[in-house]
Structure 1
Amino acid sequence: MTRQPIFEQNKNCWKETQATYSSPLIDCANYYRALHSSICKAQKQIIIVGWDIDSRIRLLHGEEEERAEAPSQIGELIQWKAEQNPDIKIYLLRWDSSFAFFDQREMWALEVWQDKTPDNVHALLDDSIPMGGSQHQKIVIVDNEVVFSGGMDVALHRWDTREHKIDEPGRNGPDEQEYGPFHDVQLVSSGPLVKHFTELAHWRWNRIAEQPIETIPDAESATDKLPDCWPEGVKPCFTNAPCAIARTIPAMEDTELVQEVRNMLIDLIGQAEHFIYIENQFATREEIARAINERMKACPDLHVVIVSSYEPQGLFESEAYWASRITFKDIVEDGVDSSRIMMTYSSIRDQQGKTAYKRIHSKVMTIDNQYLVIGSSNLSNRSMTLDTEVDLIFHGDSEENQRCIEFIRNDLLAEHTGRKTDAVQPLIESESPVEALMDKQLAHGYVLTEIDDSEFTSASETNVFRSISDPEEPLGPAIPDLHGKFSAITNPRRRTIMIALGVLIVGLIAGALILISNTVPWLDGDRIQAFLEESRGTYFALPTVLLVYLVGGLLFFPVTVLSLAVAAIFGPIWGPIYGIVGALLSAGTTFLLGKLLGNAGLRKLGGPKVEAVDEKLKQSGIIGVAAIRMLPIAPFSLVNLVAGISSITVVQFLIGTFLGMFPQMIAKGLVGDSIMQIFKNPSTETVTYLVAGLVFWLAMIIGSQKIAKMYQARKLQTDAQSNEEDSEECIA
């Protein structure tokens, strides 16, 4: 039986429209493959709006990646497409995320896109959301013909196949962190609905950009053939299906609060008669729980299955979402027969006893065979009020479209319970579908198990974590502008956060150095020289010099002062020898310290500009390090740290340091020894000796500069000739 749709524009939806063709793309392997195909087919325009757009993500894996003519990595693919077709315009709009997601995001995303793509690729970071909210819509529009929408981003730790194997080599992101099975759902659609998604994407872009998106004509909605940009291998499920687009938009400077998603979900639940199926990342919105509970009490034949994740990721998720899910579960089950509703997670245990829990990231709801929701909205407070969201809701107006809703629901349940898709419908049509689905699940395959969040946390009436992670209102107060209008404070920009972090780190280092200099009385030239003199003529001479260089390097003490002091005490022969050994020890130690800091995240903080310098340093190798050592352009220890953060090897670095510093050590040995001789026996001979040493030192610096410039010029000439030869080979 079909009913009139409940869609009501400006109440529970933004636009009531139609999808000429539409099909779900279940799990990221299928979505990324389809996205890659449509991008390759694009001719006019590509718009990507997302919570994240990570340039490092591979869209294809395995043999597909090897066979593909176009690059697999999304950053390289966009660059390839833009260079292949200079007339195409590509727009990338990513949320300028909060500090909480720094470890999950590409640090310098905007600079990466700007540096590695041509001028017909435009990238922006959207920071206009109120503090505490996120830009959570996930939309890709290709040539105004095809739109992808749903729960999936091109982001870290998303890719997985529908098999969700316990051990999957492909689940290893660009951060080299392995992750477990991951489930999500996206839609690919064409027809009249595309122009509305295009309008939404244009609004998002134009409200923050200096230059608006270039408008291209809407594609003709042909019903007899698929659009040119439709992804290869994807068979449409819906044909000419009525649908609606519902949004959440928080109150911002230029818009009022929009709660179409909230209103739509409550209205849909009120239509349910036999079976509600939900899979969602989070279930915390008590209003939704009460709506389900009230509908179940009003309809004794209504049954509900909810699928979500098992274990929380971190303290904030545990205390904000899992604690709230306990309350959600208590509300939906209150006064209802436990056989009619089940909140579950999907997991697998193989014959060897290995266990894996499927992470649910999708946002799906079916109401009988009448409605299907696939979107970006979680059943959380923030998705109903504070984040930007967009859901697509299909109405089963015909037997064909009702069968499509049933198939998608049954296919998802089959994946979670280890069954065949055609085996699910008889279970749902039984007198007790929840018990039937939970009963007789296959061993050693994926199974649904009832959620018990009390093993992770407990419900709490006053939860500070929930108020921060799942708020209904902005975290910051509204402030008035010059005209007296109140607007919410937005999240701080990524660049602002980075500058603040840089200032904080520099301040901490400076404070530590000042503290050390004020509390360590021996950290001055006179005391160091007295300390070294005590070791002269003993077996402890070299170890003492090494200790002074090591400590001095860690505390950024000037290496020139140390070298002159060592030369003055140990003479023009042993002084340079001891000095170069000590300098190499100090350089190697601070280099390794830089390597540790780089691996801990400083290289990521540095961004593409540092990568460019790193590449030049790596290419120049030993000669480059020697040239830097010859030229007094930066403090000794700072050069060591920066080199450690780079990709140059420690062996190359130490050899380059030796070649660059030893000639100067000889010059410093002459100067240091002559200074000592002047103090002992001031005469014309000793003064001449000092002047000669200074001249030799100056000559070493000038000569080093000329040698470095000659080397750089010769290398540039060699590289230019090599590029010309490569070009000739390409032409041939």
Structure 2
Amino acid sequence: MLLKRGATCWRAERTPRAAVFIDVEDYFTAVMSAISKARRSVHILGWAFHPLTHFAPQVDCADPQEARIAAFLKAVSSTRPELDIRVLCWKAALPIAITQDFYPQRAAREFRHTSVRFELDDQTPLGASHHQKVVVIDDAVAFCGGCDFGPDRWDTCDHEDENLLRAAEPGAPPCFDPRHEVMSLVDGHAAEALGELFRARWLRATGETMTAPNAPAPSDPWPDAVTPQFEDVRVGLSRTAAAWAGEDQIRENEALYLAAIAAAKSCIYMENQYFTSPVIAEALAQRLGETKGPEVILVSTGHAPSYFDQLTMDRTRSFFIRRLEDADKHGRFRIYSPVTALGHTIIVHAKLAIIDDVLLRVGSANINNRSLGLDTECDLSIEPMSPTRAETRLAIGRVRTRLVAHWLGCEDVIVSEAVEKTGGLGAAIEWLRAQGRCRLRPIPAVALKPMASLVATFHLGDPVGPKDSWKPWRRRRSVATELKAVVASLKQANLDSVPARLSAKAI
């Protein structure tokens, strides 16, 4: 098992039902349905929370405001005043708030003088952010993944070039780029654990202790029209948090990545906003160097949408790619960026990993330094267990097939047949690209000029933890120190799959 409490996860719970949402159309619809069924509480954690987020632009409402998240929550609270509705959002630094249309201030005004509790959380080390994205309903069902509530998040799996619904106002010319997100849904003890996570965050942010429910939810808030893809599975919750204000450091997300990469037998498939972590690059490189190691398929945005990320993350990603290309002696590494039918960039904001057919991971953690050691993050992983192990493995495989098919713009069966024909996922993608399905394009490692090389070498804008947040010259040493600690904890947890040669010397 890869999910081990105290090492690769905080909690690991047997869970009756789970589902995965690919892109936001279905996710937002499910969230609305679950909140509409709430009888006790609605608790939301976010990096961002914009009150004008349109839940369902595809629905023709008499009043367009009815489907805006703030109006929707206020309407629910007015019809069911007994509900405890709380939203806890990171108190973003001013430059970020500006780029997000001052969403914290807008939301605070929107909920003033209502029964919806809205609070901003600034309890972080300097330079860190609260990055968890969680929605908990009645402590009975919960969503977890990489999607915040913002007007630019909504999109369909088609990622159409001209979708009039992907706009600030329904029916207006499209003003938001196509976007890819992945979220998960669970019930049972996993949902209860996410409720516990919310209460801990609320206490730290406000000083107010919330009482945990002492009885099961009065009804089932599982959203309508959502069929569980997984039944009776093991669900793990992995976190990141910096050592700060008397709290211990938590690096469960990084530990799970290292353990899962080391354990992979045939295929490592990852989608992520950023690929810059030297620790993860080294772990992947070592597997690529093995004669019979797994193939590594990565999907990310062609170029970051913000100038700051282009200056920092895009430059550093070239170092990441170059390390894997150098290690790839057997032709098993590929990294792609998705585009629309007309060749426009699709923003990949998902944070997803599928290891063979034995681990499906969805969360908020990027594959960069800060997500693995500085910011607060929460990832949810699904792992097969008896007696439903075979069915779960098939379901994990189906999710991976659906993801690749949706990128290439084809039916799932075409991807499945291509994998069978070619003997591997990477070869299947290349075969389908040769057939004209070219919506996944290789990302090259680009040569960096001196300034860009300096940014990438010292990971400017991407600190490892509070100690090097404003001391980038310490960053390489900080990465090496943290790597030693994480590998030691994995070995102590008897995760023998961690390669002994994974050392700080290569960082």
TM-score tier by shorter-chain length is 0.7 to 0.9
1:404 CA drift (Å): 0.9
User: Which among 191, 196, 203 is matched to residue 193 of structure 2?
Assistant: 196
SS at the partner of 1:416?
helix
User: Which among 462, 475, 485 is matched to residue 470 of structure 1?
Assistant: 462
CA contact (8 A) 1:311 1:456 kept: no
User: Which among 214, 218, 221 is matched to residue 217 of structure 1?
Assistant: 214
Asked whether 1:134 is paired with 2:129, we answer yes
Pick closer, same or farther for the CA change 1:423–1:36 going to 2, 3 Å: same
Asked whether 1:34 is paired with 2:30, we answer yes
Q: What are the residue-to-residue correspondences of 1:384-403 with 2, within 5 Å?
A: 384-397=372-385, 398-403=389-394
CA contact (8 A) 2:15 2:188 kept: yes
**For residue 156 of structure 2, what is the amino acid of its counterpart?**
T
Asked whether 1:254 is paired with 2:246, we answer yes
Residue in structure 2 matched with residue 570 of structure 1 by the alignment: none
Q: For structure 1, which runs of at least 5 residues remain unmatched after alignment?
A: 222-226, 478-732
CA contact (8 A) 2:19 2:228 kept: yes
User: Which among 24, 29, 47 is matched to residue 51 of structure 1?
Assistant: 47
Residue in structure 2 matched with residue 366 of structure 1 by the alignment: 354
Q: Distance in 2 between matches of 1:320 and 1:108?
A: 24
Residue in structure 2 matched with residue 712 of structure 1 by the alignment: none
Asked whether 1:324 is paired with 2:324, we answer no
CA contact (8 A) 1:324 1:459 kept: no
Residue in structure 2 matched with residue 418 of structure 1 by the alignment: 409
User: Which among 81, 87, 97 is matched to residue 82 of structure 2?
Assistant: 87
Q: Distance in 2 between matches of 1:196 and 1:331?
A: 38
Residue in structure 2 matched with residue 159 of structure 1 by the alignment: 154
CA contact (8 A) 2:51 2:103 kept: no
1:311 CA drift (Å): 1.9
Aligned pair count reads 463
Q: Distance in 2 between matches of 1:405 and 1:251?
A: 34
1:466 CA drift (Å): 6.5
Q: What are the residue-to-residue correspondences of 1:290-301 with 2, within 5 Å?
A: 290-298=282-290, 300-301=292-293
Pick closer, same or farther for the CA change 1:98–1:67 going to 2, 3 Å: same
How far does the alpha carbon of each residue in 1:497-547 deviate from its partner, in whole angstroms, 9 at most, with x for none?
xxxxxxxxxxxxxxxxxxxxxxxxxxxxxxxxxxxxxxxxxxxxxxxxxxx
SS at the partner of 1:22?
strand
SS at the partner of 1:230?
coil
1:19 CA drift (Å): 2.0
If asked which structure has higher relative contact order (CA below 8 Å, sep 6+), I would say: 2
User: Which among 298, 303, 312 is matched to residue 306 of structure 1?
Assistant: 298
Residue in structure 2 matched with residue 124 of structure 1 by the alignment: 119
SS at the partner of 1:211?
coil
1:299 CA drift (Å): 5.2
Identity %: 24
Pick closer, same or farther for the CA change 1:88–1:239 going to 2, 3 Å: same
Asked whether 1:103 is paired with 2:98, we answer yes
Q: Distance in 1 between matches of 2:103 and 2:406?
A: 37
SS at the partner of 2:289?
helix
Residue in structure 2 matched with residue 269 of structure 1 by the alignment: 261
**For residue 243 of structure 1, what is the amino acid of its counterpart?**
V
CA contact (8 A) 1:57 1:174 kept: no
1:20 CA drift (Å): 1.2
1:302 CA drift (Å): 1.6
SS at the partner of 1:228?
coil
Residue in structure 2 matched with residue 486 of structure 1 by the alignment: none
Q: Distance in 2 between matches of 1:85 and 1:442?
A: 56
Pick closer, same or farther for the CA change 1:334–1:467 going to 2, 3 Å: closer
Q: Distance in 2 between matches of 1:111 and 1:179?
A: 20
Q: Distance in 1 between matches of 2:428 and 2:107?
A: 51
Q: What are the residue-to-residue correspondences of 1:401-550 with 2, within 5 Å?
A: 401-429=392-420, 430-441=422-433, 447-454=439-446, 460-463=452-455, 467-474=459-466, 475-476=469-470
**For residue 434 of structure 1, what is the amino acid of its counterpart?**
G
Q: Distance in 1 between matches of 2:76 and 2:424?
A: 53
Q: Distance in 1 between matches of 2:169 and 2:457?
A: 30
CA contact (8 A) 2:44 2:86 kept: yes
Q: What are the residue-to-residue correspondences of 1:60-79 with 2, within 5 Å?
A: 60-62=56-58, 64-66=59-61, 71-79=66-74
SS at the partner of 1:270?
helix
Q: What are the residue-to-residue correspondences of 1:317-716 with 2, within 5 Å?
A: 317-337=309-329, 339-349=331-341, 354-397=342-385, 398-429=389-420, 430-441=422-433, 447-454=439-446, 460-463=452-455, 467-474=459-466, 475-476=469-470
1:173 CA drift (Å): 2.4
**For residue 422 of structure 1, what is the amino acid of its counterpart?**
V
Residue in structure 2 matched with residue 171 of structure 1 by the alignment: 166
Indicate the RMSD between aligned Cα atoms, in angstroms. 2.6
Q: For structure 2, which runs of at least 5 residues remain unmatched after alignment?
A: 472-507
Q: Distance in 2 between matches of 1:443 and 1:425?
A: 15
How far does the alpha carbon of each residue in 1:600-619 deviate from its partner, in whole angstroms, 9 at most, with x for none?
xxxxxxxxxxxxxxxxxxxx
Pick closer, same or farther for the CA change 1:348–1:43 going to 2, 3 Å: same
1:157 CA drift (Å): 1.3
Q: Distance in 1 between matches of 2:291 and 2:451?
A: 28
TM-score by length of 1: 0.60
User: Which among 172, 180, 185 is matched to residue 182 of structure 2?
Assistant: 185
Pick closer, same or farther for the CA change 1:213–1:69 going to 2, 3 Å: farther
Q: Distance in 2 between matches of 1:446 and 1:168?
A: 21
1:242 CA drift (Å): 0.8
1:455 CA drift (Å): 8.3
How far does the alpha carbon of each residue in 1:535-591 deviate from its partner, in whole angstroms, 9 at most, with x for none?
xxxxxxxxxxxxxxxxxxxxxxxxxxxxxxxxxxxxxxxxxxxxxxxxxxxxxxxxx
TM-score by length of 2: 0.85
**For residue 235 of structure 1, what is the amino acid of its counterpart?**
T
SS at the partner of 1:441?
helix
Q: Distance in 2 between matches of 1:31 and 1:396?
A: 24
Pick closer, same or farther for the CA change 1:325–1:36 going to 2, 3 Å: same
Q: Distance in 2 between matches of 1:289 and 1:358?
A: 24
**For residue 308 of structure 1, what is the amino acid of its counterpart?**
S
Pick closer, same or farther for the CA change 1:456–1:52 going to 2, 3 Å: farther
Residue in structure 1 matched with residue 486 of structure 2 by the alignment: none
Q: Distance in 2 between matches of 1:440 and 1:343?
A: 15
